Amino acid sequence: MSGVSENHPRPQLQRSSWESLDGRWDFALDPEASWSLPGEVVWDRPIVVPFAPETALSGV
C-alpha cells in the first residue's frame, strides 16, 4: 500500500479521510470526576497523544 502512514493504527484498513491526532495537546486531570464545559476547564498541562495519562510517555 503506497502512502500509508507508519502511525496509522491499522494500515490495512486505511481510509482516505483518516487523520492522526497524535501530538501535544492541552490537558487537565479531573480527580473529582466533575463536569465542566470546555471553556470553563483550566487546561494546566500538556499531554502527548496517543499515550494514556498513566504512562510516562504521555508526559503527564
Q: What is the pLDDT of residues 20-49, one digit of tens each?
A: 889 999 999 888 888 889 899 999 999 999
Task: Kindly list the distances between the CA atom of residue 32 and the CA atoms of 22, 35, 44, in Å, as whole numbers in the listed order.
Answer: 27, 9, 16
Indicate whether 10 belongs to any domain: no
Domain extent at residue 35:
21-58
Indicate whether 16 belongs to any domain: no
Q: Which residues is 24 bridged to in the sheet?
A: 48
Indicate whether 13 belongs to any domain: no
Cell of 49: 497523544
Determine the pLDDT at residue 7: 63
* Rounded CA separation 47/33 (Å): 18
* Residue whose cell numbers read 491499522: 10
Residue 18 confidence class, pLDDT cut points 50, 70, 90? confident
Indicate whether 53 belongs to any domain: yes
Q: What is the pLDDT of residues 1-12, one digit of tens each?
A: 344 456 666 767
* Rounded CA separation 38/43 (Å): 9
Determine the pLDDT at residue 17: 81
Indicate whether 27 belongs to any domain: yes
